[in-house]
Chain A
Amino acid sequence: MNLDYFQLIDRIIDLNLDEKKITVEAQVPTTHTIFEGHFPGFPIMPGVLLTEAMAQSSGWLILGVLKFERMPFLAIVKEAKMRGFVSPGQLLTIEAKLEHEGSGFAVTKVKGRVGKDLKCSAELTFGLAPFPDPALRVHMDAKANEIGFPLQAITHD
């Protein structure tokens, strides 16, 4: 997790395009200024960042399903539940499943766990748009490579 750059996902563990599911890992840093304020003496990951981590996980899944032809942008957050505290140094494992691919939008259901403990869940809707700037596409390609996006999964079918 690179909180300063809002890059919350460290690696893709599994991408199953047949089942339209993804599993990713996100290592919560042991120290960060966020934890100095949230909260003094009791540092925990803010719920908005857990929601963003679920959104980014879903985003990689949607990018895979759409073969990087369009960019998903978070539009609706439903049923977001912060079910337990996530502390500095913990490893989040996030699973997202594509519930529906509509015309210009996609819906996912996402769950985040630490070990076996369910920590957060949500239903997220994304608007799908052409990449608004070539630089963003270049960035996403580089980031995909960095987090181990299995590019063969979208080129061999």
Chain B
Amino acid sequence: MSSTFDQIANIIAETCDIPRDTIKPESHAIDDLGIDSLDFLDIAFAIDKAFGIKMPLEKWTQEVNDGKATTEQYFVLQNLADRIDELVAAKNAVPGA
């Protein structure tokens, strides 16, 4: 079974037509890969579907805008993978979810 990072990288490669081998765990989705907000909607849809979650993009964006978080915390891909793992774990911890 592929890692969360690999699944995200594959989604980004397919959605944004970015060569898969240029997508690294340390890549920043915006600064390094040039993914814009519209493409990120597509990516978010694919990630939500693949992992059965609802990534709280608006909350994350608000935190960045308020200076409570950095973009690196959410948009460096290994960090994004960690956030997704947390969301999946939280979902699985809820009975009946």
Contacts and interface: CB of A to CB of B under 8 A. Distances in A.
Interface size class of A (residues with CB under 8 A): 10 to 19
A139 B1 CA distance: 51
Contacts, number: 35
B45 A100 contact: yes
Interface in B48-89: 48-49, 54-59, 61
A22 interface: no
Interface stretch (A2-10, A56-64, A101-109): A101-109
Nearest to A126: B41
A100 B41 contact: no
Interface size class of B (residues with CB under 8 A): 10 to 19
Contact of B54 (A76, A103, A127): A103
Interface in A105-157: 105, 107, 125, 127
B38 A102 contact: no
B55 A103 contact: yes
A45 B74 CA distance: 44
A49 interface: no
A76 B54 CA distance: 19
A107 B54 CA distance: 13
Given A102-B54, A103-B59, A104-B57, A75 B45 contact: no
Interface string A32-65: 0000000000000000000000000000000000
Contacts of B38: 75-76
